[in-house]
Each structure stands twice: as C-alpha cells, then as structure tokens.
Amino acid sequence: MRTMGGEQVEEAVASAVALLRTAVDRDWETARAGRLEWSCRYTAEHVAGDLIAYAGQLAGRATDAYVPFEITFDEGTDNEGVLHVIETTCALLAATLRTTPREVRAFHPYPYRSANREGFASMGIAEVFLHTHDIAEGLGLAYEPPARLCADVLARLFPHVQPGPDPWRTLLWATGRGDLPGRAPVTEWRWRNNLVIPAERLTLQGVTPAAATDLAAGGDGGFEWVGSGPFQGTRDAATMLLKAYEGGVHRPEWGVFALVRREDGRAVGGMGFHGPPDEDGRVEIGYDLAEAARGHGYATEALRALSAWALAREEVTSVFATTEPANVASQAVITRAGFTRVAGDEGQDEGQLAYELRG
C-alpha cells in the first residue's frame, strides 16, 4: 500500500517552496491569496503554523484539544525567511511522522476528533497544496502539484467525494477553489479523517478508500494482520466500498471497519455496513474474522460496539444481520450481541437466517 508519511510531506513542501522561491522579491503583504481574505504573506505563515501544529499534536499525544502553542516570526523576516520556516516545520513534521507508531491518534476536530499519523500527513500535504495554489493565484504563478499525491489526499481525507480523472482539479473543486463539469460548486467543505469506534479489547477503525483499494488488490490495507491476513469477506467488502467511492455514493460512516486489537495493534477481522440506513431506518451489518483470531469473542465485542454506535444515530431504528443456517458459530455471535431471530423478508437471500436488534 502506498503510504502517506514524512517522505510525501517533504515532497509536497519541496515542490511548493521551489515555486514560491521564484517570487520572493514580490510584495506578498499586499497581494491577496486567491479567493481567500488573507494576504499571500499571511497564508504562507499559516502553512508553517499548520505543519508545526500537526507535529505538536502527534508528538504531544494530544487527545482533547490542540497543544496550546503557536509560532511567531521575528520582526523583519522577509519572504525567503518565511520559506525557510516552512521548510523547517516540514522537517519537524516529517520527523514526527517517522517516529510515531501507527496506532497513535491525536486530536483533530474534523469530523470525529482524532487522526492517526497518516491523517496528519495527508492534512499537512493538503494545506501545502491548497495554500500554495492560493498564493500562486495571487502572485500570478502557475502551480500544478503531483497528481499521485493529490489522489492520495482525496482517498484519505475526502472519502465522500467522487474521484475524477484529474485529481488536482477534483481537489480544488472539493475545497471550493474551482469548477468541475457536471458538479455543483462547493461553498462549504470539511475533510474527513476516518471514524474509530472504541470497544473493550478492540478499536474499530474505518477503512479509507485508499486502504480499500489495497485490500481489494490483495494487500494488507496498511494494517498488520494476525495469521495469514484478512479473510476473503473483508476483501470483498473493501471491493464494494471502492465501487461506492468511485460511484460517488460512499458514506464513510456506513462503510467498513478493521477490527484492531489494542494489545498489539494487529487487525483480527473486518466488520461493516452494507450501506446507509434505508427508508425504514434499518441498516445491515456483515463481518468476518481471520481464522487465527476466532474463538476469543472478538466478533461479539465488535458487533455490540458497532450496533450500539448505529442505534445511537437518529436515522437508525434497527440493525439487521443474516447468516447461513449451517454457520452455528455466526449465529452464536449474533445472539450473544443481543439480536433476536426474525422472519425472512423480501430483501433476504433464500435459505438464510435473519436477526434484528432494535433501539
């Protein structure tokens, strides 16, 4: 799986600074940065502030708020000095990303109040790309960041946005900075780090389109798996997620979750929804476990946690699950999680047993 880490942040900053360095003799203080209300100078300082803030969140293991600090520039700092600060804060973020364990999450408000190192790397790159675009527009410069990195940012931070043939134009459109044929202009936006739902021994970690792409292709999705890796059901679910993403109908909170053990950070299975709630408020759940993780109650624990999360949503009235009559182990998981057997309905495959949990 392609990673998002220190190397990618350094690549993004290097290309941006190289362009801006061609205009250090210009007046950045009076030039407005594109569609923003900020000057080009203030926008550049904002980039440096974001990079060091993200490093601070991870290094400080902040869980409830931003670490209460900010950087200031010495009086008389020129444009070249501002770029030097951006390069320096980039180096600090890159170093932090390289030394932060995968399972560490730190506070960020959008939208689920946390992000892991990959999320902070992606946000750092997005800040660099988007605000370099703003500055370049204000100064009359042409800017085109690497398409590969733009696609990676979209697949991690904009899972609700249908990808387009041009990742950079899609990213600009998704953040209210451009137009795309056939799509309405964007006036309000937020990126979305993945949802993580806590359980007793597990965390249920939302699978991003980037991870789903790798899982569907036979990779590990960026997770360390027990045994021989994810069961086929998890790969099939990732394929369905990917199709929804490519079709522009993916709702990440109703997607797929990797079940990750707290004690060692290893994934033991997958669980997720077949889609968002229907018009009756019913949502269906499916799951599987890697063979090496079966018999420890992980599936029951995860099913309870994910069902409780779903039933806490206003649009959900019931959670639905089906299993084969011969799959006694799966039936035991469902009943231990509090589900009760119900009669089959029109949407149920013939020969399956149906179970429901109501709020």
Predicted pLDDT of residue 229: 83
Q: Decide if 180 is inside a domain.
A: no
183 within domain boundaries? no
Q: Do 339 and 209 lie in a common domain?
A: yes
CA distance linking residue 156 with residue 193, whole number of Å: 7
pLDDT at 359: 85
- Co-location of 118 and 154 in the same domain: yes
Residue 228, pLDDT score: 85
Q: What is the mean pLDDT of the chain?
A: 96
What pLDDT was estimated at residue 184?
Answer: 96
State residue 1's pLDDT score: 87
Of residues 18 and 346, the one with the higher pLDDT is 18
Average pLDDT on 163-175 reads: 98
Which of 127, 144, 174 is the last residue in one of the domains? 174
**Of the residues 126, 141, 174, the one at which a domain ends:** 174
CB count within 10 Å of CB 178 equals 16
In the predicted model, what is the mean pLDDT of residues 206-228? 96
More confident: 1 or 117: 117
Q: For residue 184, is it within any domain?
A: no
What is the rounded distance in angstroms from the CA atom of residue 129 to the CA atom of residue 281? Answer: 40
Query: Domain with 37 in it: what CATH number?
Result: 1.20.120.450
Mean pLDDT of all residues in 189-215:
98
In a domain, 103, yes or no: yes
Q: How many domains does the chain have?
A: 2
Q: Is residue 133 included in any domain, yes or no?
A: yes
In a domain, 243, yes or no: yes
96 and 134, same domain (yes or no)? yes
Q: Are residues 162 and 219 in the same domain?
A: no
Asked, for residue 181, whether it belongs to a domain, the answer is: no
331, two tokens: 């039936």
- Tens of pLDDT, residue by residue over 275-286, are 999 999 999 999
Mean pLDDT of 233-249: 97
Residues 50-78 have a mean pLDDT of 97
Do both 132 and 11 map to the same domain?
yes
Assess whether 167 and 216 both reside in one domain.
no
Q: Sign of torsion, CA 261 265 271 275? A: positive
pLDDT in the model for residue 343: 82
pLDDT value at position 169? 98
234 and 139, same domain (yes or no)? no
In a domain, 148, yes or no: yes
CA distances from 176 to 89, 108, 160, 187, 339 (A): 27, 21, 15, 6, 44
Q: What percent of the chain has pLDDT over 70?
A: 98
Q: pTM of the prediction?
A: 0.96
pLDDT in tens, 298-357: 999 999 999 999 999 999 999 999 999 999 999 999 999 999 999 865 545 668 999 999
Of 109 and 350, more confident: 109
Looking up residue 308, the CATH number of its domain turns out to be 3.40.630.30
- Report the pLDDT value the prediction gives residue 349, as an integer from 0 to 100: 61
158, 227: one domain = no
Same domain for 207 and 280?
Answer: yes
Residue 260 belongs to domain spanning: 196-358
Same-domain pairing of 75 and 170: yes
3-state SS, the chain, equals CCCCCHHHHHHHHHHHHHHHHHHCCCCCCCCECCCCCCEHHHHHHHHHHHHHHHHHHHHCCCCCCCCCCCCCCCCCCCHHHHHHHHHHHHHHHHHHHHHCCCCCEECCCCCCCCEEHHHHHHHHHHHHHHHHHHHHHHHCCCCCCCHHHHHHHHHHHCCCCCCCCCHHHHHHHHCCCCCCCCCCCCCCCCCCCCCEEECCCEEEEECCHHHHHHHHCCCCCCCEECCCCCCHHHHHHHHHHHHHHHCCCCCHHHCEEEEEECCCCEEEEEEEECCCCCCCCEEEEEEEECHHHCCCCHHHHHHHHHHHHHHCCCCCCEEEEEECCCCHHHHHHHHHCCCEEECCCCCCCCCCEEEEEEC
Q: Tell me the mean pLDDT in the region 190-207.
A: 98
Structure confidence at residue 344 (pLDDT): 63
Q: What is the mean pLDDT of residues 214-219?
A: 97
pLDDT of residue 187: 95
For range 129-137, the mean pLDDT = 98
Domain end residue (candidates: 143, 174, 205): 174
The verdict on 168 and 220 lying in the same domain is no
Return d(Cα 289, Cα 270) in angstroms, integer.
6
Q: How confident is the model at residue 58 (pLDDT cuts 50, 70, 90)?
A: very high
> Is the same domain home to 19 and 167?
yes
Write down the pLDDT at residue 345: 57
